[in-house]
Structure 1
Amino acid sequence: MTSKRPFLSWCLDHFSPPEGLLLLILSVIVGATTGLASVFFVKLIFAIQDFAFGSVSGMLPFLGKWIYVVIPIAGGLLVGPLILFAQEAKGHGVPEVMQALILRGGRIRARVAVAKIAASSLCIGTGGSAGREGPIIQIGAALGSTMGQVLRLSDERIRNLVACGAAAGIAATFNAPIAGVAFAIEVLVCGLQMRAFGNVVIAAVAASVVSRNLIGFKFAFQVPAYNMHSTLEIVLYLILGLTAALIGIMFIRMLNLAENVFDRWKFPQLFKPAVGGLLLGLVGLAYMHLPNLSFPAGSAAHGGGLDTPIPHMYGSGFPFIQAAIQGHTPLWILVALIFLKPLATSLTLGSGNSGGVFAPSLFTGAMLGGAMGHLFSWWFPDIGLNTGAFALVGMAALFSATARAPLTAMLIVFEMSN
């Protein structure tokens, strides 16, 4: 007895549209849907963050700075059941998409998109040191894969739709359609055919158009004008790049170590994210007791954000990246965050929480570049170096080291900073 075929699959076989037209229409649908999901995801993160560190903090004033411990633990307790509901929602998101492309013909369960949105928004909104780009890549890929499975398309077509969804995720969350296309080609599907390449471009543009119409045409970072005053600066940027490679290796090894420790720990998976939240909270609590900390108001990307001070290594950290690019951050804080941000991200994602590593990589790179910019300015005062320029270059350099995607790294920084 044959199983009942989905209505859309029957229509596809009955009308037999040209393959190029079919994939064109599907790529627009995947891109637009991912754009909508990205907007919802970002708004949900801000709503949870405002509630957790604004409303809840106001309702429990007796906790004082211990609120920075309690909120991440609560977030971890909420994330745990979601990870059990869909194991693929655990961790970064990008490795799971690559695994689906290589081992399962691009097939990703539909429940992953729902679980990933919920788990990642709870994690990041309650202070988890992670980015939103990894989750939205996996969400877009899951949407594309689900659409291909419902229509009973071939593995090749499903892989194409997965690449479309991933590119659309980058385009929507970073307002960077070109970087989204580069990411899909450079990281996910290296052997992309020209025909499939066009679909990825269309999906990325569709996602970017939807995101810009709903959120507004805003760049993540406002960058002042920089000028090169001496050819010596090229050598200094080279030194920064080499240092970023070393810090990137440290970041990767710290994250791998945390994942291995938590994976081998004989403890219920349901509560591991809460343990990671506890350790993260203790780091944040200690950090908030440091003297002379400054806190940029609001969020630099996609809206107003939160005015309540939270540790700089919590969340994506975009407001403090903006401060580093403007050159408004003291050297000692930059140096401390070079190591504290990878530590916080390792505790967050290693314990099974959900989020991306792109934003933490950009954050760490900005801190490294800003710190080295300060040092170079002291060592070569006559050149007139701008520390913010080194922070911007450091973002691309360290992202390239951790993601091993130099083209995507350059394009993301260019598009995020206009």
Structure 2
Amino acid sequence: MLLDSFILGVVGAAAAQIFTWLLTFCNFLFLETIAQYQPIGLPNEGGSSVEHIGAYGLWLIPVVTTLGGLISGLIIFRWAPEAEGHGTDTVVAAFHKNAGIIRTRVPFVKMLASAITIGSGGSAGREGPTALITSGFGSIYGRLTNRSEKEQRMLILIGMSAGLAAIFRSPVGSAIFAVEVLYSSIEFEAGALIYALLSSVIAYAINGAFVGWRPLFNLPEHIEVLHFSLYGLFIILGIICGLVSAFMPTFFYETRNYFAKIPIPNYYKPAIGGLAVGLIALVMPQVLGGGYGWLQLAINGQMVL
């Protein structure tokens, strides 16, 4: 499995980079060209730290978010319905219920559809799509090399950790995420950890050699030591964040279940979500895309809520 980890590290790095390029192109096409809106980006990825709004203001944004949702929905539900959603659910289902098998077309469909969704302003992150894309390549590799069911399951985790390490530049965190996201309780797939860590390091090294070693976010060079009395506020903040993180999955799945009951073809439903995001963006453009650029501004102390 050591050689497999190396190979999937290379594949994961390549897949993550292609996904990033596609996402950048779709962002340029939909938001910057059609909507004439340049969102805040990450400086370490070549993004702009200045928001640019064209002659039509923000009024074209609902058009492109709706269009992106429609195109994405048509692609997903025509060729790979199991690729809908954020992606990690499909990986978990493949691991527990489908012997580690993810259909060959799924990573390709997910890569294209997610790039269009996020690039057109859809309020989503890269982690879920990347997890499914690179675990899908791990599954393909396992079938090509005729692996056992146990090895097949491990290969999708190895592939997932490689892709996440390349795109988020965090090899240790990516490996741990890959082996623990499978369970709702405090458990993890210990047997795959060393191989996931190896593939993550390989992918991170390859990505760094080609695009640089800078982290995703810039942190202040000098962080002041705050007064001890403020630590109580940090505890309160931690409790609030924990409650929000517990609420968000429930709200997400309840919303998804509600949309599932709407009596219209499934491929139209992402367009409805895109329209809703676009309308919200008229007053709060921070909801567009992954929001990483806005997070960098917050880290810099330049974003006022």
TM superposition score normalised by structure 2:
0.88
Q: Distance in 2 between matches of 1:66 and 1:230?
A: 45
Which of 295, 314, 317 is residue 288 of structure 2 equivalent to? 314
**What is the rounded CA distance, in whole Å, between the counterparts of 1:203 and 1:188 in structure 2?**
18
Counterparts of 1:51-66 in structure 2, within 5 Å, are 51-58=29-36, 63-66=56-59
Q: Provide, for residues 38-65 of structure 1, a one-character-per-residue CA deviation record: whole Å limited to 9, x for no partner.
A: 0111111111111212222359x77542
Name which of 73, 78, 83 aligns with 2:76.
Answer: 83
2: CA distance between counterparts of 1:317 and 1:79? 20
Contact 1:124-1:316 at 8 Å conserved across structures:
yes
Partner of 2:280: 283
- Matched residue type, 2:72: V
The CA RMSD measured in Å over matched residues stands at 1.8
The separation in 2 between residues aligned to 1:212 and 1:50, in whole angstroms, is 24
Q: Deviations over 1:367-393 (max 9, x none)?
A: xxxxxxxxxxxxxxxxxxxxxxxxxxx
1:193–1:247 CA distance, 2 compared to 1 (3 A) = closer
Q: TM-score, normalised by structure 1?
A: 0.65
Does structure 1 conserve the Cα–Cα contact (< 8 Å) formed by 2:280 and 2:287? no
- 1:111 aligned residue: 105
Cα distance in 2 between the residues matched to 1:269 and 1:191: 34
**Which of the pair has the greater relative contact order for Cα pairs under 8 Å at 6+ separation?**
2
Q: 2:87 aligns with which of 71, 93, 97?
A: 93
Question: SS of the counterpart of 2:237?
Answer: helix
Paired positions, count = 284
Gapped regions of structure 2 (runs ≥ 5): 38-53
Q: Secondary structure at the match of 1:183?
A: helix
**1:29 Cα deviation after fit:** 1.0
Shift of 1:250: 3.2
Question: Which of the two has higher C-alpha Rg?
Answer: 1
Q: Which residue of the partner structure matches residue 211 of structure 1? A: 207
In the TM superposition, residue 185 of structure 1 has moved relative to its aligned partner by 2.5
8 Å CA contact 1:83–1:89 kept in 2: the answer is yes
1:188 alignment partner, SS class: coil
**Aligned counterpart, 2:268:** 271
Matched residue type, 2:228: T
Q: Which residue of structure 2 lines up, in the alignment, with residue 73 of structure 1? A: 66
Residue 65 of structure 1: SS of its match in structure 2?
A: coil
Q: 2-side partners of 1:116 and 1:124: how far apart? A: 12
Instruction: Name the counterpart of 1:198.
Output: 194
Give a deviation string over 1:137-180, Cα, whole Å, max 9, x none: 11111111111112221111011111101111220111000101
Q: Does 1:222 align with 2:200?
A: no
| Residue 198 (structure 1) shift | 2.3
Residues 1:151 and 2:148 are matched in the alignment = no
